[in-house]
Amino acid sequence: MRKWASFPLREGDVSRQAHADFPEQAIYERETGRSGFFGPATHFHHSHAPTGWSDWQGPLRPRLFDFNQLTENSTSSPWQVPLLLHNAHCKMRTWRVAETMPFLVRNADGDELLFVHEGSADLYCDYGHLEIVEGDYVVIPRSTMWRLEPKQPMVLLMIEATNDSYQLPEKGLVGNHAIFDPAMLDTPKIDEAFKAQYSEQSWQVQVKRHGQTSVITYPYNPLDAVGWHGDLAVMRINWRDIRPLMSHRYHLPPSAHTTFVAQRFVVCTFVPRPIESDPGALKVPFYHNNDDYDEVLFYHAGDFFSRDNIEKGMVTFHPAGFTHGPHPKAFQAAQEYRKKFTDEVAVMLDTRDALEVGSAAENHENPAYVNSWKVTDSN
């Protein structure tokens, strides 16, 4: 058994409340903590921005990738898409698919999470038929057979929980119906569209296991269920159905926006919300150390209020080991309370284990991103 040492202390000129009412001579707050945002933490007050570096040498740096430029991910099979960011417990890809899949796929390595960045499709799986559209999350349990019939060309973010499963976060004091009501989770139906694809013709299933693909051939379509019952199924929710936790007096940490949880990582969703209005409250994400988790953000839509020159389809990667936070322009805008409402939509992946960068991602990196925190005359 282990227990964190707990000895809350105060030294020097400090605020009594984290993320609010800073000392006059120190407008910058930096949080250093453990276990993401769930462990012990200390808040430092600084007279200079904790990200105000003038130079950076070495591989541990904030990174920006433009996955809009990827061409290697255009294929009819998700198992042919290159890994972009990955470790032993989590694998992230983006996938472009425009044509109806002429086969089924099955992931025997773990649960799959699809986020529909662009397009729409009919999804057929063991459990039935489900229409999916832009903004949908779709959780596909391990070893489920499925395929897509796109209605428009699609771009999907795929996050595999390797040898693991997706579950919902504990919502604690706010109750089970906060953030999103479980009643908002949709499941496939054995409807007329599903029955219409019953077939006695030959079908193949591409099964991925340990990163290798096997092909199973059936003399019929194995999606032939006439019914099912239980509490395991493909499930879907759209980001528009998420009602974010918020406080007008306190900037909540990213953990408050957790959507799905695996054993070694979490997936959070940032959606539009009012910006904190209390005069003393911090109005952008606080500067914080990445001490235990690698942080990845996939930008889906809108104007991400703590970043500059970020477009939809881009991905930022902040590995564990350094302080990061809002860019200078965003911090200044927050100080002046220029915006009253955020309009960004982004998917955040926080992993307990270090992520590796695939060659396909490196081919589309903007190496100047590390300099975007520098304060210049234009900032």
Q: Could you read off the pLDDT of 285-327 as tens digits, one per residue?
A: 788 887 889 999 999 998 876 666 789 999 999 999 888 888 7
Average pLDDT for residues 129-147, to the nearest whole number? 98
262 lies in which domain range? 28-65+242-373
Measure the CA dihedral 64/68/74/77, to 10°. Answer: 60
Mean pLDDT for the chain overall:
90
Same structural domain, 82 and 204: yes
Give a yes or no: residue 11 inside a domain.
no
Same structural domain, 193 and 251: no
Same structural domain, 250 and 354: yes
Question: For the chain, what is the domain count?
Answer: 2
Same structural domain, 192 and 325: no
State the pTM of this model. Answer: 0.91
Give a yes or no: residue 5 inside a domain.
no
Q: Which residues of 296-318 are buried (b: 16+ CB within 10 A; e: fewer)?
A: bbbbbbeebbbbbebebbbbbbb
Output the domain CATH number for residue 328.
2.60.120.10
pLDDT over threshold 90, residue 284? no
Same structural domain, 110 and 58: no
The whole-number pLDDT of residue 378 equals 46
Amino acid at position 24, single letter: E
Same structural domain, 232 and 251: no
Q: How confident is the model at residue 205 (pLDDT cuts 50, 70, 90)?
A: very high
Please write the tens of the pLDDT for every residue from 20-44: 777 777 778 888 878 777 777 888 8
At residue 19, φ and ψ (nearest 5 deg) are 65, 20
Same structural domain, 188 and 324: no
Same structural domain, 60 and 85: no
pLDDT over threshold 80, residue 182? yes
Residue that terminates a domain, selected from 239, 262, 287: 239
Please write the tens of the pLDDT for every residue from 246-274: 889 888 888 889 999 999 999 999 999 99
More confident residue, 378 or 131: 131
Which two three-digit tokens encode residue 225?
């269920």
Give a yes or no: residue 195 inside a domain.
yes
pLDDT over threshold 60, residue 377? no
